[in-house]
């Protein structure tokens, strides 16, 4: 018998994945969680029917959401990840020797537990002694920490339900306060192809708060549209002008110093979205 997972990527279009095996499926306190093994992308984490990360393409997202801000900041020591309970962002952050502490603030403890069990390739650094795991709402956590982090990474689900408040101006104001004086923030900010209004709003919210705001793109096959946006808000350093000449070699599959600068060059339709 063939089993297929269908993700409704937008209202009238879907992606389907042939499933080898369902490893876990449960209702957590916050969402419907599944980790399934698929023919095309290997194991994947699915929350409320939406693909969050897969063994085959996770490197694109996790490298770009971390190395762009961490190689823009000259000396990132303390980093916060909001969401990201799979641990992929933490794994990449801890490749930076300057980082003394990486805090993960994930609302759903089951995401952490199940990813540790079934996705060790991604979650492997969550037990590192430089990583501190905190289970709770990122909105509250950020509000309660001031002038503390050099980099804040918002690795969240799409802007509905528990993650809705992670996409707005009020949250970005709190992030600004939680950052140190030359801090940098980055968020995954959806698809400009299918959701131009969302991308525009989030970008403009960030722009109204941060002195430097830039958007870049990366190609992520399992995300709607296949071409995903990230927004960077920075108090001081411009990520698109980072000095990439002295970046040390890191074990990456997508990020390169050349791409660091090139990814900020946008196709015309994306430039129009954020104009």
93 forms part of the interface with ligand AAT (CB under 6 A):
no
31 is in an annotated binding site: yes
Catalytic residues: 155
- In the complex with ligand AAT, which residue's Cβ is closer, 140 or 241? 140
Q: Closest approach of Cβ 57 to ligand AAT, in Å?
A: 11
107 forms part of the interface with ligand AAT (CB under 6 A):
yes
Rule CB under 6 A: choose which of 119, 162, 242, 263 binds ligand AAT.
162
174 forms part of the interface with ligand AAT (CB under 6 A):
no
3-state secondary structure string, the chain? CCEEEEEEEECCEEEEEEEEEEEEEEECCCCEEEEEEECCCEEEEEECCEEEEECCCHHHHHHHHHHHHHHHCCCCCEEEEEECCCCHHHHHHCCCCCCCEEEEEECCHHHHHHHHHHCHHHHCCCCCCCEEEEECCHHHHHHCCCCCEEEEEEECCCCCHHHHHHHCHHHHHHHHHHEEEEEEEEEECCCCCCCHHHHHHHHHHHHCCCCEEEEEEEECCCCCCCEEEEEEEECCCCHHHCCCCCCCCCCCCCCCHHHHHHCCCCCHHHHHHCC
Tell me the CA distances in angstroms from 250 to 56, 67, 71, 81, 94, one per residue in order: 19, 10, 11, 20, 11
34 forms part of the interface with ligand AAT (CB under 6 A):
no
> Nearest to ligand AAT by Cβ — which residue?
83
How many CA atoms lie less than 13 Å away from 181 in the CB half-sphere?
0
Piece of 124-132, 134-142, 197-205, 251-259 that binds ligand AAT (CB under 6 A): 134-142
Rule CB under 6 A: choose which of 69, 88, 239, 257 binds ligand AAT.
88
238 is in an annotated binding site: no
Q: Which two tokens stand for residue 100?
A: 């003394």
Piece of 11-19, 93-101, 154-162, 245-253 that binds ligand AAT (CB under 6 A): 154-162
182 is in an annotated binding site: no
189 forms part of the interface with ligand AAT (CB under 6 A):
no
32 is in an annotated binding site: no
Q: Which residues share a beta bridge with 45? A: 35, 53
92 forms part of the interface with ligand AAT (CB under 6 A):
no
244 is in an annotated binding site: no
Q: Which two tokens stand for residue 225?
A: 């549209």
241 is in an annotated binding site: no
Q: Closest approach of Cβ 8 to ligand AAT, in Å?
A: 12
86 is in an annotated binding site: yes
213 forms part of the interface with ligand AAT (CB under 6 A):
no
Tell me the number of residues near ligand AAT by CB under 6 A.
28
Report the binding-site residues for spermidine. Answer: 62, 86, 155-158
Report the binding-site residues for S-methyl-5'-thioadenosine. Answer: 31, 106, 137-138
Interacting residues with ligand AAT (CB under 6 A):
47, 50, 52-53, 61, 82-86, 88, 105-108, 111, 137-139, 155-158, 162-163, 166, 188, 223
């Amino acid at each position: 018998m063939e089993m297929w997972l269908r993700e409704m990527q937008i209202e009238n279009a879907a992606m389907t994945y042939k499933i080898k095996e369902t490893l876990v499926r449960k209702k957590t306190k916050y969402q419907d969680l599944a980790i399934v093994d698929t023919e095309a992308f290997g194991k994947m984490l699915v929350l409320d029917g939406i693909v969050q990360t897969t063994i085959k393409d996770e490197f694109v997202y996790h490298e770009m959401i971390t190395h762009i801000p961490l190689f823009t900041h000259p000396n990132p020591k303390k980093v916060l990840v909001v969401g990201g309970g799979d641990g992929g962002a933490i794994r990449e952050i801890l490749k930076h020797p300057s980082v003394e502490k990486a805090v993960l603030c994930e609302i759903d403890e089951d995401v952490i537990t199940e990813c540790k069990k079934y996705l060790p390739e991604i979650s492997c650094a969550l037990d590192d002694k430089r990583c501190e795991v905190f289970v709770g709402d990122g909105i509250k956590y950020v509000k309660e920490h001031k002038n503390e982090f050099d980099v804040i990474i918002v690795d969240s689900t799409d802007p509905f339900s528990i993650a809705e408040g992670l996409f707005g101006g009020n949250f970005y104001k709190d992030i600004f306060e939680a950052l140190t004086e030359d801090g940098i923030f980055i968020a995954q900010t959806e698809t400009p192809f299918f959701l131009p209004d969302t991308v525009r709003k989030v970008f403009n919210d960030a722009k109204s708060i941060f002195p430097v705001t830039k958007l870049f793109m990366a190609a992520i096959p399992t995300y709607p549209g296949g071409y995903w946006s990230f927004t960077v808000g920075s108090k001081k350093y411009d990520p698109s002008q980072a000095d990439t000449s002295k970046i040390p070699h890191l074990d990456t599959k997508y990020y390169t110093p050349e791409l660091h600068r090139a990814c900020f060059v946008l196709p015309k339709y994306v430039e129009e979205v954020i104009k």
